[in-house]
Amino acid sequence: MYKPRTIEQFKIMEYIKDNFHMECLLVAPVSRSSLMIQDEIGDRMAFQWMDGHVLEAPLPTPASNQEHLAFIKAFWADPRHPQFMSFDDLTTWWLNNPTPLTHQQILNLPDDLYCRYLECEQLLELDDVLTMVMKERITQTEYQDIRLWFLNGHNGGNWLGLVGVDGDGDRYDLVFNYGTSAEMRYHFYVEDGEDGI
C-alpha cells in the first residue's frame, strides 16, 4: 500500500480511511498534495488538500506516448540527471520535480504490475525471491512479486523472463550475473491460473 510522503498526502489518507473501506481500494499518488483511489472494478476518484480541506480533484491525465518519449529523451540527454536505484528513488524524485508523467509512467509499470505494487505492504527481498524460485512452481501473483523485485533496482546484470513451454507449462528463468563466468540460473514454472487455480 502506498504510504503518504507529505503532510498533505497524510491528511488525504486520513480522510480516505475515515470515509471508505480501505480493503476495497488501491491508493496512488497524483502529486505532493493529491492522492487517487481505485476500487475493485477500476473506478477512480482523486482528492487534493487545499486551504485546510480535502476536496475532490480532477483525475490525472497520463502523458501521451509522444510526451512520454520526449521527456525520457530530454532526461537522459541531461548529463546532470540523477541515478535511480529503486521505485522509492523514482517516487521521491517525481514528487519533487515537474514532469508530465503520472506516477505509474515514471515507474514504467504496466497496469497489472502497478496495481500489484500498490497492493503490496512490502516488496520482496532477495531471500524471499530465492525461496519462491527454488519451489520450481509458483503462482501468477508470486511471479508478479518477483517481477516487481527485479524491476526495483535488481535488473542490472541479471535477467528474468520466459524461456519456453514444455509439458509442464510455461518455464521461466531468473539469472544472476547474466552472461558471466559467475552466472547462476534458476528455473521455475508459473501456474496458468491466478494463484494456481
pLDDT tens for the chain, residues 1 to 197: 899 999 999 999 999 999 999 999 999 999 999 999 999 999 999 999 999 999 999 999 999 999 999 999 998 899 988 888 899 999 999 999 999 999 999 999 999 999 999 999 899 999 999 999 999 999 999 999 999 999 999 998 999 999 999 888 899 999 999 989 999 999 999 987 655 43
pTM of the entire predicted model: 0.89
Residue whose grid cell is 513451454: 165
- Domain-wise residue ranges, the chain: 1-61+85-121, 126-196
20, 104, 179, 182 from 155: Cα distances, Å: 37, 18, 13, 16
For CA atoms 173, 176, 180, 186, give the dihedral sign. Answer: negative
Burial of 47 (0-12, 13-18, 19+ CB in 10 A): buried
